Amino acid sequence: MSQAEPAVYAERLGRAFGELWAVRDLDLTIPSGEIFGLVGPDGAGKTTTLRMLTGVLEPSAGTARIAGYSVQGEEEAIKQRIAYMSQRFGLYGDLSVEENLNFYADLYHVPRRERADSMERLLGFSNLTPFRRRLARDLSGGMKQKLGLACALIHKPQVLFLDEPTNGVDPVSRREFWRILYGMLKEGVTIVVSTAYLDEAERCSRVGLLHHGRLVMCDTPQRLKAALPGQMYELDTAHGRRAREVLAEALGQRRVGLFGGRVHLAVTDDGELQQALSLLSREEIELRATRRIVPSLEDVFIHAVGEAEQSI
């Protein structure tokens, strides 16, 4: 792959299952050395997108190139240059940590003379060295994910694809997992990760928001948040759900989000804020506090989804 060649390139990429398009008209360019987050709810098309980009699933339309090779006809060349950790990555419970690593090294034809150093580095990197002889089935959920990542990296891929790798993993293990990813990034590995956790998306170089199989927004987290029109306010109330219903009915779903007991409200100006506060007062919904805030990626996603729904 040349320096100018992006790690991932897709043009009008799509996949249909019968009459249903799971992904449609996807244009995407990911340069080498980036960590790219693919975000969207269940059914948005994240897994289908990753499966097409890794050569597992044949596209119904469009083209894609990974590390300079086409997903249509050059799948074997791609497989030697990527790692794909799916939601159900195939660890073998009756093999030890070390035996799982050796198994994947055999699959990827890692030379014996390179294997020992790679294994020691990955075990140390993932803090699995003390558990190298423990059976995989006896590891915690977070440790299994780290072992899965180590197995995926044993052949030193250029591009790493991860499909919701921290789904169901505890917060401490999630932080540790991302620490490892940042370490791989420093070693020059390009990372494409799908996630339903928007706090994780904040850690990415750029983020793509998928909705109904279409890429509705793509930029850095900072630019996405800065591009959100108007002003964002947080309303603290003991009746968050009711407040959200009232405001969403008056202003539209894409303007209002509920975060725990707090409502996030997007307004165009101070006059519209006062209108919203008066509406809540008429409904006898008491506010404990109101403050202006910096939008979160979740605020951006709610707005983007609302815009996309209006255009359908």
All structural domains of the chain: 8-220 (3.40.50.300), 229-294 (3.30.70)
- For residue 104, pLDDT over 80 is answered with yes
Residues 225-250 have a mean pLDDT of 92
Residues 292-299 have a mean pLDDT of 90
**pLDDT digit string, tens, across residues 194-222:** 998 888 899 999 999 999 999 999 999 99
- For residue 120, pLDDT over 80 is answered with yes
Rounded distance, CA 8 to CA 216, Å?
Answer: 18
171 or 20: whose pLDDT is higher? 20
Going by C-alpha positions, the residue among 139, 142, 120 that lies closest to residue 129 is 120
- pTM score of the predicted model: 0.87
* Predicted pLDDT at 310: 64
**pLDDT digit string, tens, across residues 130-147:** 999 999 999 998 899 899
DSSP result, 71-135:
TTT-HHHHHTTEEEE-TT----TTSBHHHHHHHHHHHTT--HHHHHHHHHHHHHHTT-GGGTTSB
Length of the chain: 312
Residues 110-132 have a mean pLDDT of 91
- For residue 51, pLDDT over 70 is answered with yes
Residues 167-178 have a mean pLDDT of 85
- For residue 255, pLDDT over 80 is answered with yes
* Predicted pLDDT at 262: 92
* Predicted pLDDT at 1: 54
CB-based contact 259:298 (threshold 8 Å): yes
CB-based contact 289:250 (threshold 8 Å): no
Sole residue written with tokens 């964002």? 232
Amino acid present at 58: E
Rounded distance, CA 308 to CA 33, Å?
Answer: 30
Give the lowest-confidence range in 8-17, 164-173, 262-271, 291-300: 164-173
Strands, DSSP E only, in 199-312? 206-211, 214-219, 231-237, 256-259, 262-267, 287-293
Rounded distance, CA 305 to CA 39, Å?
Answer: 12
CB-based contact 285:246 (threshold 8 Å): yes
Beta bridge partners of 162: 85, 193
Cα angle for residues 22, 15, 40 (degrees, 5° grid): 35
